[in-house]
Amino acid sequence: MTRKRIALLGPPGAGKGTQAKLIADKTGLCHLSTGDILRDEVAHGTEIGRAAKLHMDRGDLVPDKLIIDMIHERIAKTDGFILDGFPRTVAQAEALLKITPLDLMINITLSRVEVIKRLSSRRVCRECGKIYNLLFNPPKSKTRCDLCGGELFQRDDDRPEVVDNRYDVYMQATAPLIDFYCERGLLCEVDGAQPTAVVLERIMDLLAG
Protein backbone atom coordinates (compact mmCIF):
# COMPACT_ATOMS: atom_id res chain seq x y z
CA MET A 1 0.00 0.00 0.00
CA THR A 2 1.47 3.33 -1.08
CA ARG A 3 -0.83 5.64 0.89
CA LYS A 4 0.41 6.00 4.45
CA ARG A 5 -0.96 9.33 5.67
CA ILE A 6 -4.72 9.06 5.82
CA ALA A 7 -7.49 11.05 7.51
CA LEU A 8 -11.17 10.24 7.97
CA LEU A 9 -13.82 12.95 7.73
CA GLY A 10 -17.50 12.66 8.60
CA PRO A 11 -20.14 13.69 11.14
CA PRO A 12 -20.24 12.28 14.69
CA GLY A 13 -21.44 8.68 14.60
CA ALA A 14 -20.44 8.05 10.99
CA GLY A 15 -18.14 5.22 12.08
CA LYS A 16 -14.78 6.94 11.75
CA GLY A 17 -13.40 5.33 14.91
CA THR A 18 -14.61 1.85 13.99
CA GLN A 19 -13.22 2.08 10.47
CA ALA A 20 -9.91 3.57 11.63
CA LYS A 21 -9.33 0.63 13.97
CA LEU A 22 -10.21 -1.89 11.26
CA ILE A 23 -7.92 -0.16 8.75
CA ALA A 24 -5.11 -0.07 11.31
CA ASP A 25 -5.51 -3.81 11.90
CA LYS A 26 -5.28 -4.51 8.18
CA THR A 27 -2.45 -2.10 7.32
CA GLY A 28 -0.39 -1.66 10.48
CA LEU A 29 -0.79 2.11 10.29
CA CYS A 30 -0.97 4.03 13.60
CA HIS A 31 -4.52 4.98 14.59
CA LEU A 32 -4.57 8.52 16.00
CA SER A 33 -7.99 9.31 17.49
CA THR A 34 -8.41 12.85 18.78
CA GLY A 35 -11.46 11.72 20.74
CA ASP A 36 -9.49 9.01 22.57
CA ILE A 37 -6.56 11.35 23.12
CA LEU A 38 -8.81 14.07 24.52
CA ARG A 39 -10.70 11.69 26.80
CA ASP A 40 -7.36 10.40 28.11
CA GLU A 41 -6.31 13.97 28.89
CA VAL A 42 -9.65 14.58 30.63
CA ALA A 43 -9.41 11.35 32.63
CA HIS A 44 -5.92 12.28 33.84
CA GLY A 45 -7.01 15.82 34.73
CA THR A 46 -4.28 17.48 32.69
CA GLU A 47 -4.40 21.19 31.91
CA ILE A 48 -5.41 20.42 28.33
CA GLY A 49 -8.01 17.92 29.57
CA ARG A 50 -9.65 20.40 31.93
CA ALA A 51 -9.81 23.04 29.22
CA ALA A 52 -11.13 20.61 26.63
CA LYS A 53 -13.86 19.15 28.88
CA LEU A 54 -15.68 22.48 29.07
CA HIS A 55 -16.09 22.41 25.30
CA MET A 56 -16.76 18.67 24.95
CA ASP A 57 -19.59 18.68 27.50
CA ARG A 58 -21.41 21.31 25.45
CA GLY A 59 -20.85 19.42 22.20
CA ASP A 60 -18.64 22.24 20.89
CA LEU A 61 -15.34 21.82 19.06
CA VAL A 62 -12.22 21.94 21.19
CA PRO A 63 -10.08 25.00 20.22
CA ASP A 64 -7.61 24.39 17.41
CA LYS A 65 -4.46 25.10 19.41
CA LEU A 66 -5.22 22.40 21.99
CA ILE A 67 -5.83 19.80 19.29
CA ILE A 68 -2.90 20.77 17.07
CA ASP A 69 -0.39 20.62 19.91
CA MET A 70 -1.49 17.08 20.83
CA ILE A 71 -1.57 15.81 17.25
CA HIS A 72 1.79 17.29 16.28
CA GLU A 73 3.55 15.41 19.07
CA ARG A 74 2.00 12.07 18.12
CA ILE A 75 2.49 12.39 14.36
CA ALA A 76 6.19 12.99 14.96
CA LYS A 77 6.45 9.50 16.47
CA THR A 78 4.97 7.64 13.45
CA ASP A 79 5.90 6.99 9.83
CA GLY A 80 2.32 6.27 8.78
CA PHE A 81 -1.04 7.05 10.36
CA ILE A 82 -4.82 7.20 10.19
CA LEU A 83 -6.20 10.43 11.64
CA ASP A 84 -9.64 10.00 13.22
CA GLY A 85 -11.33 13.27 14.21
CA PHE A 86 -8.62 15.60 12.87
CA PRO A 87 -8.60 17.93 11.05
CA ARG A 88 -12.08 19.27 11.83
CA THR A 89 -11.67 22.83 10.59
CA VAL A 90 -9.92 24.50 7.66
CA ALA A 91 -7.54 26.15 10.14
CA GLN A 92 -6.60 22.69 11.46
CA ALA A 93 -6.15 21.41 7.90
CA GLU A 94 -3.81 24.29 7.10
CA ALA A 95 -1.86 23.62 10.31
CA LEU A 96 -1.63 19.93 9.37
CA LEU A 97 -0.14 20.86 6.00
CA LYS A 98 2.74 22.52 7.86
CA ILE A 99 3.30 19.33 9.88
CA THR A 100 2.88 16.72 7.14
CA PRO A 101 0.96 16.30 3.84
CA LEU A 102 -1.92 13.84 3.57
CA ASP A 103 -2.15 11.15 0.91
CA LEU A 104 -5.93 10.73 1.17
CA MET A 105 -8.95 12.20 2.95
CA ILE A 106 -11.93 9.83 3.17
CA ASN A 107 -15.31 11.43 3.85
CA ILE A 108 -17.75 8.98 5.48
CA THR A 109 -21.20 10.49 4.93
CA LEU A 110 -24.24 10.09 7.24
CA SER A 111 -27.53 11.99 7.64
CA ARG A 112 -28.51 14.04 10.73
CA VAL A 113 -31.35 11.64 11.60
CA GLU A 114 -29.05 8.62 11.50
CA VAL A 115 -26.35 10.43 13.50
CA ILE A 116 -28.75 11.25 16.35
CA LYS A 117 -30.18 7.73 16.36
CA ARG A 118 -26.77 6.07 16.46
CA LEU A 119 -25.09 8.24 19.08
CA SER A 120 -28.00 8.55 21.50
CA SER A 121 -28.06 4.73 21.60
CA ARG A 122 -24.41 4.45 22.67
CA ARG A 123 -23.52 3.29 26.19
CA VAL A 124 -20.09 3.04 27.87
CA CYS A 125 -18.92 0.90 30.81
CA ARG A 126 -17.66 3.00 33.74
CA GLU A 127 -15.23 0.26 34.77
CA CYS A 128 -13.55 -1.11 31.63
CA GLY A 129 -14.58 1.47 29.03
CA LYS A 130 -16.20 -1.02 26.63
CA ILE A 131 -18.61 0.70 24.25
CA TYR A 132 -22.01 -0.74 23.35
CA ASN A 133 -24.79 0.42 21.06
CA LEU A 134 -28.37 -0.44 21.95
CA LEU A 135 -29.19 -0.72 18.24
CA PHE A 136 -26.21 -2.57 16.74
CA ASN A 137 -24.19 -4.04 19.60
CA PRO A 138 -26.47 -4.26 22.65
CA PRO A 139 -25.32 -5.59 26.03
CA LYS A 140 -27.22 -8.49 27.60
CA SER A 141 -28.40 -6.05 30.27
CA LYS A 142 -29.15 -2.42 29.44
CA THR A 143 -27.47 -1.31 32.66
CA ARG A 144 -24.46 -3.66 33.08
CA CYS A 145 -21.34 -4.50 31.06
CA ASP A 146 -21.14 -8.04 29.67
CA LEU A 147 -17.40 -8.21 30.37
CA CYS A 148 -16.95 -6.85 33.88
CA GLY A 149 -20.44 -6.12 35.22
CA GLY A 150 -19.66 -2.40 35.46
CA GLU A 151 -22.39 0.21 35.23
CA LEU A 152 -23.27 1.38 31.72
CA PHE A 153 -23.85 5.09 31.21
CA GLN A 154 -24.54 7.58 28.45
CA ARG A 155 -21.74 10.09 27.89
CA ASP A 156 -22.78 13.73 28.18
CA ASP A 157 -21.82 14.33 24.55
CA ASP A 158 -24.12 11.46 23.43
CA ARG A 159 -27.33 13.00 24.80
CA PRO A 160 -29.75 13.70 21.88
CA GLU A 161 -29.80 17.47 22.37
CA VAL A 162 -25.99 17.59 22.49
CA VAL A 163 -25.69 15.31 19.46
CA ASP A 164 -28.02 17.64 17.54
CA ASN A 165 -25.73 20.54 18.40
CA ARG A 166 -22.66 18.51 17.46
CA TYR A 167 -24.13 17.94 14.01
CA ASP A 168 -24.74 21.68 13.58
CA VAL A 169 -21.18 22.40 14.71
CA TYR A 170 -19.91 19.82 12.21
CA MET A 171 -21.85 21.35 9.33
CA GLN A 172 -20.65 24.85 10.15
CA ALA A 173 -16.99 24.17 10.91
CA THR A 174 -16.05 20.82 9.36
CA ALA A 175 -18.07 20.53 6.17
CA PRO A 176 -15.94 23.27 4.48
CA LEU A 177 -13.09 20.74 4.62
CA ILE A 178 -14.87 18.87 1.83
CA ASP A 179 -14.09 21.74 -0.54
CA PHE A 180 -10.58 22.16 0.92
CA TYR A 181 -9.55 18.58 0.16
CA CYS A 182 -11.60 18.27 -3.02
CA GLU A 183 -9.70 21.21 -4.51
CA ARG A 184 -6.45 19.39 -3.73
CA GLY A 185 -7.64 16.14 -5.34
CA LEU A 186 -7.44 14.21 -2.04
CA LEU A 187 -11.11 13.67 -1.17
CA CYS A 188 -13.05 10.43 -1.65
CA GLU A 189 -16.56 9.77 -0.27
CA VAL A 190 -18.02 6.58 1.22
CA ASP A 191 -21.65 6.07 2.27
CA GLY A 192 -21.54 5.53 6.05
CA ALA A 193 -25.09 4.17 6.15
CA GLN A 194 -23.85 0.91 4.61
CA PRO A 195 -22.87 -2.09 6.78
CA THR A 196 -19.47 -1.79 8.47
CA ALA A 197 -17.91 -4.51 6.32
CA VAL A 198 -19.07 -2.84 3.11
CA VAL A 199 -17.69 0.54 4.20
CA LEU A 200 -14.35 -1.08 5.06
CA GLU A 201 -14.16 -2.88 1.73
CA ARG A 202 -14.77 0.37 -0.12
CA ILE A 203 -12.08 2.18 1.91
CA MET A 204 -9.53 -0.58 1.34
CA ASP A 205 -10.24 -0.34 -2.40
CA LEU A 206 -9.50 3.39 -2.22
CA LEU A 207 -6.25 2.80 -0.35
CA ALA A 208 -5.15 0.23 -2.92
CA GLY A 209 -5.96 2.51 -5.84
Number of H helices, E strands in the chain: 9, 8
In the residue annotation, 202 being an active-site residue is answered as no
The catalytically annotated residue of 16, 53, 118, 123 is 16
- Cα–Cα distance, 53 to 152 (Å, whole number): 20
In the residue annotation, 184 being an active-site residue is answered as no
The catalytically annotated residue of 21, 130, 155, 159 is 155
Amino acid at 114: E
The catalytically annotated residue of 5, 53, 118, 122 is 122
Q: What is the DSSP letter of 157?
A: G
CA 160 to chain centre: 18
In the residue annotation, 112 being an active-site residue is answered as no
Nearest-5° angle of CA 130, CA 81, CA 188?
95
The catalytically annotated residue of 5, 39, 53, 88 is 88
Active site residues: 16, 88, 122, 155, 166
